[in-house]
Amino acid sequence: MSPSTIALSQRILARLMPPAHAEALLGDLLEERRLRLQSGFQVSVAGWYWRQLASSVPALLWASVRRGAWRITVVTAVASYIAAGGIRLVLLYALSPMTTSKSVREVVALLTFAAALAACGYVAASIRLGAARLLAFLVFAATCAMLATSTRAPLWYEGSLLVLGPVATIAGATLSGWLRRVWL
């Protein structure tokens, strides 16, 4: 079992566990793995390790739901989505006197919303890492709903928003993570 495989499994478990218990649980799992390797069961150790991981995931997910950690993520993502809409409205109001063409206004609207989503993705990821991913999903789902129910916006606008919205959100979150690594 390669070190990158062990690192991946550790990241999976660390995301699902309460931080106070993560180090102890991961240490116990690695210690048991080491003991199994020393006793000569090298072929079956990788399978045992992944079975332990797979059997732990449901209980850890349920514990996470009971702890209510998901609420912070959902509230952060929804608040970020609402904030992005508010920022978009303010920017459109400020920029609308500068444009008279409808097609130019639509491009400005798309770009301002993308900028607002990038900024809100940055903030959401700074508050809660998973919130930016949920925000990207909300943008994607809202755009799909708009595509399915509305014909007011041009198809190029909706198609662009379908791609640009989640990408801008993830770009903002990536910038947040990159800056956090550089500064810390």
Cα separation, 50 vs 46, whole angstroms: 6
Angle (deg, nearest 10), helices 42-67 and 19-38: 170
User: Per-residue pLDDT tens for 74-118?
Assistant: 899 999 999 999 998 998 888 888 877 888 888 888 899 999 999
Over residues 10-44, the pLDDT tens digits come to 777 766 676 666 677 777 888 888 888 888 766 67
